[in-house]
Amino acid sequence: MRKRFVACCAVVCALKTLAVSAESPQGEPAKKWPMVQVSKKTLKTLRSVRTSDISDALDSMGLQEHYQMDTAMRPLYTGIRFAGIAHTAQYDVIDKRIEPMSYEEFDKRQYGGKDPLWHEAGEWGGPDQVLVIDAKRTAAGILGSANTMSGRIKGVVGYVIDGTIRDSYECIIQKTPGFCTVRSPAHPMGRIGPVSNNQPITCAGVKIRPGDAIVADDDGVIVVPQEMADEVATRAYRIQAKDRVARRKSYEKLGLPLDETVELSESADP
């Protein structure tokens, strides 16, 4: 009983902290925060539920509308689902004109040389990582068919950018797990420049810190604060389990073939 009381107190305290954080005005200096690693078990649970289940779980904790990204954030194609740990990057508009040059010079400078035309905010890529980028919703394609494949080779499970993913056709046939707010053919060079790497950012209206969980499916992208990941995952699992029982009964009445969305678990908890 005492353990349950202590756990409840911890949840309430974390909720109060998150509510204050969510209401803080933007533009304040970045503050350090206690990193709480999302466990493999919790991440597995988050991968088994829908964003709608997570949204309902957050609602039940008094956190409506704090962690769902803007509805402009859409998948490259239907059927994308992922859950992983946020690695963040931020860029800002620079509008720096690129002077005419020979193709040979351009080829040397586009990604390298003494004065490169473009460089990313920093190193990224690792197991279970979701790259989350604030690119100010610009038509400047930081992500494309090549670097998203390189990231996946390193273990990246998803991409979320308030901005552009270009090379759309290639990204789609490569099954790139990407969400973006803009589709454009433009390269980022001369248009935007790096601000920070793996620091707190705001992406599509939601504040995100490195280490937070990111979950995405056809309904959109939702952030699960690292401090609350265990509780949110448990509630979301229970919400989905109840829904599966009800939907399975409807399947049976309609004579529909059962699918993975109505498979039942032996346990009420993850």
Q: How large is the average pLDDT for residues 219-240?
A: 97
Q: Left (φ > 0), alpha (ψ -120 to 50) or beta: where does 154 sit?
A: alpha
- Residue 35: predicted pLDDT: 76
- Residue 270: predicted pLDDT: 80
CA distance 111 to 151: 17
**How much is the CA Rg of the chain, to the nearest whole Å?**
21
Return phi, psi of residue 69, to 5°: -70, 155
Residue 236 pLDDT greater than 60, yes or no: yes
- Residue 268: predicted pLDDT: 65
- Residue 153: predicted pLDDT: 98
Neighbours of 269 (CB within 10 A): 9
Q: How large is the average pLDDT for residues 33-39?
A: 80
**78 to each of 29, 81, 95, 216, how far by Cα in Å?**
38, 9, 33, 11
Residue 118 pLDDT greater than 70, yes or no: yes
User: Quick one: which H or E segment has residue 152?
Assistant: helix 145-154
Q: Quickly state the pLDDT bin for 139 (edges 50, 70, 90).
A: very high
- Residue 114: predicted pLDDT: 87
CA distance 187 to 106: 13
**Three-state secondary structure along 192-242?**
EEEEEECCCEEECCEEECCCCEEEEECCEEEEECHHHHHHHHHHHHHHHHH
- Residue 34: predicted pLDDT: 60
Q: How large is the average pLDDT for residues 143-165?
A: 97
For the chain, the structural domain boundaries read 35-232
Residue 217 pLDDT greater than 80, yes or no: yes
pLDDT digits (tens, 9 = 90+) for 84-109: 999 999 999 998 999 999 999 999 99
CA distance 182 to 164: 5
Q: For the chain, give the mean pLDDT.
A: 89
Any idea which architecture 35-232 has in CATH? Answer: 3-Layer(bba) Sandwich (3.50)
Q: How large is the average pLDDT for residues 196-218?
A: 97
- Residue 19: predicted pLDDT: 39
- For the entire predicted model, the pTM comes to 0.86
Q: Quickly state the pLDDT bin for 33 (edges 50, 70, 90).
A: low
**Total length of the chain:** 270
